[in-house]
């Protein structure tokens, strides 16, 4: 078989494309419920696999607190460098197999009965990157145990000192 024969077969095959497309369309419309069921099953399976894969990553998270000293006054370059380190930590754990939900980095500004602290949380796989201290005048401390999940403050809107609620209570 030479090149001219291959080109002639290719041209003949291209000539049959409209008929092939028409047959494919007819089949798809005739079996639309199968196509929809398969697509739905694929979406459910993909979501389930992602959720199962991210469960262990979300369970194994590490937290570090950055405790500033009295003379702490970072320059803009230090803040940008620190943000870059956090983005590198997130990127170091992001693999194609892990969903982004499990690799997210969390930065919290907290004050629990003391000075303001910065808490960085991320997956355990990013621990080595998180340990590199970003600021020169800060102490980095690993958070362990029950400290990793601080209680959220309770905010009640519309509750007055006398125990009544709502706008009518405010007028009374």
For the chain, the structural domain boundaries read 3-53, 60-147
pLDDT of 170:
46
pLDDT of 22:
92
d(C-alpha 25, C-alpha 29), whole Å: 6
CATH architecture of 60-147: 2-Layer Sandwich (3.30)
d(C-alpha 168, C-alpha 158), whole Å: 10
Is the confidence at residue 94, as pLDDT, over 70? no
Owner of token pair 């697509």:
39
pLDDT tens figures, 7-63: 888 888 888 888 889 998 898 888 888 889 999 999 999 988 888 877 777 777 788
pLDDT tens figures, 112-145: 777 777 788 877 777 777 776 667 777 777 887 6
């Amino acid at each position: 078989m030479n090149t001219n024969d291959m080109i002639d077969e290719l041209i003949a095959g291209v000539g049959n494309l409209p008929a092939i497309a028409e047959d494919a369309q007819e089949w798809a419309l005739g079996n639309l419920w199968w196509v929809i069921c398969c697509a739905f099953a694929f979406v459910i399976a993909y979501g389930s696999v992602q959720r199962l894969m991210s469960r262990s990553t979300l369970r194994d998270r590490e937290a570090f607190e950055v405790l500033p000293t009295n003379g702490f006054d970072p320059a803009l370059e230090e803040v940008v460098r620190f943000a870059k380190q956090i983005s590198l930590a997130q990127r170091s754990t992001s693999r194609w197999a892990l969903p982004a939900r499990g690799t997210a980095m969390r930065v919290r500004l907290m004050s629990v009965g003391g000075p303001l602290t910065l808490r960085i949380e991320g997956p355990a796989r990013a621990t080595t990157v998180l340990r590199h201290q970003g600021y020169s005048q800060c102490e980095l401390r690993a958070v362990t145990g029950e400290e990793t999940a601080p209680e959220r403050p309770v905010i009640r809107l519309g509750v007055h000192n006398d125990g009544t609620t709502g706008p009518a209570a405010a007028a009374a």
